Structure 1
Amino acid sequence: MSGVISGFTVIFIVVGVGYVLGRTRVIGDHAHEVLSRLVFFVFTPALLFHSMVTSDLSVVFSATLVIAGGSAFLMGVVYVVIARLWLRRAVPELVIGGLSASYVNSVNLGLPIAIFVLDDASFIAPLLLFQILIYSPVALLALDLTALDRDSGRSLLRDSLVAPITNPIVVGGLAGLAFSLIGWTPPAAVMSPLKMLGDASVPAALLAFGLSLTGVAVFKKGQSPRRDIALASVLKMVVMPLTVYAVARWGFGQKGEALFAQVVIAALPTAQNVLVYATRYRRGQILARDTALITTLASIPTIMVIALLLA
């Protein structure tokens, strides 16, 4: 239980610093957008490359990859179907909402909880790999094709082929995986600066999240897409953990510590990366911001209840 409290304390402190910076305008009026772009174009690609190169891939290709990754993708699809049929949202908002309902905060909260609560950081690795190499590329490709302006002379097929290899996050993850698969690690002179830049990804994303809260009211009537946020939050914090419990227990026969770990991972809140993506493409920012905040607050009692029931 102390690990849960410690992990959330770290997050709230850094987000609080970002909020104070935003309120005081110490780093300017456009700090949120600039910081988000740094996270998107520099810090996160460096983090993904370094993480993939230094990871033991044999640990991540396991049942957890299917359970965690499959449930996350399922929640995203469920959101898209419901929001499309019920709320009639455009594709970019559907993508951001689907990510908000399923993209797990696997780094800045997942890793501390995996270490302090589950006593094994490898529990989070399969989901991290799925989100980096499969989920993010698919979502970012959809956003590249639907949220960005395309010249009339460019074909959708060309955009589909070019978008993945020009997205820095996708390139960083795939390049790191390629180096890991061939078993070659770049020299320390290359890896050290990449590690330094990658280490800035999590705190910068949290600071950007805190900056985004400045001068806004969460769930504000008339400005916030309340139904979208409520749908994404319920899917993320209620449906996803229950789905993982059912699949892990009755589909894979897991119990004890393994089952507990699966459900805790599913109950992690929406990652701040979703807000970074929303800011980059200028679509669904309020949806991503409010869902991330609500699920972060809701995950504290949720994980505590899971710990009492399953630990």
Structure 2
Amino acid sequence: MTIAAKPADARTTSDPALTYRGGPQKRQRSTGTVVATSITYAILIVIAIVYIMPFLIQIATSFKTDADATANPVSLIPQTWTTAAYTKLFLNSDFPTWFKNSVIVTIVVTLGRVFFNSLAGYALARLHFRGRGVIFAALVAVMSVPMVTLLIPKFLVINQLGIYDSYAGMIIPLLTDAAGVFIMKNFFESIPPSVEEQARIDGAGTFRVFWSIVLPMARPALITIVILSFQGSWNELAHFIISTQDPALTTLTKGVAGLASGQLSQGNQYPIKLAAAAIMTIPVAVLFFIFQRRIMNSSEGAVKE
């Protein structure tokens, strides 16, 4: 009985030339990939350390004594752990007043920017009126102007309106910003107009269409505006310098900047300054980490036609 020989399969061949041709190349390729990945991760770790180190030093120094902070300014482990800086900050300074003012201004400004930026962005994206192109060009032009050049005109306007040294003078000029309007306009233009046509056929007016149909779909852009507005108004300094001089209206940024003059005590005051800076960082950091995955997520709120 004879058994027919099976044809040679290229996959099962024992040709040493073919074996040599595939194995080492794959091995070299995998080795190169591992090396490239390791170098990439090493670079990212170094960059992360460079960015994180100042925050770690800030937190560690806030628990040091003045002498320890002076002798070991970049040490991450205090020789003597103490909360004296936080105690002095809350009990022997106007820090609670500064914090309250910053919270009030930031919340009102953030809500105002979300509403007014959305209205302006929708008007520029959907409403057809004479001069729309000129307004948009002016908006882009405003974005290119350094804010420091507008401080004196802004002070003159605030003073002329009689709202200097008041919450109104601190809040009203910040209720809208060109960048926020620009972001909302571009997002509204990405929404198909057919979404609004059915609502208009049912008799909905322009504001109803904006409020009930379009605005809920703009959640990614709205979250972006919330974060940018919160961070911008919370960290604002120049505007509060030219809009108030009453100590009762001092915000965190203005008050912490005043600590550099040594108004609380003698010495370098590094622990007090960095304790105040650490507390200032917490609200913005928490807000960013909560909403970071939702910032301009184009897949959210998408519409299928």
Shorter chain as normaliser: what TM range?
A: under 0.3
Structure showing greater Rg: 2
Normalised by the length of structure 2, the TM-score is 0.23
Larger helix fraction of residues: 1
Specify which structure has the bigger relative contact order, considering alpha-carbon pairs within 8 angstroms and separated by 6 or more residues: 1
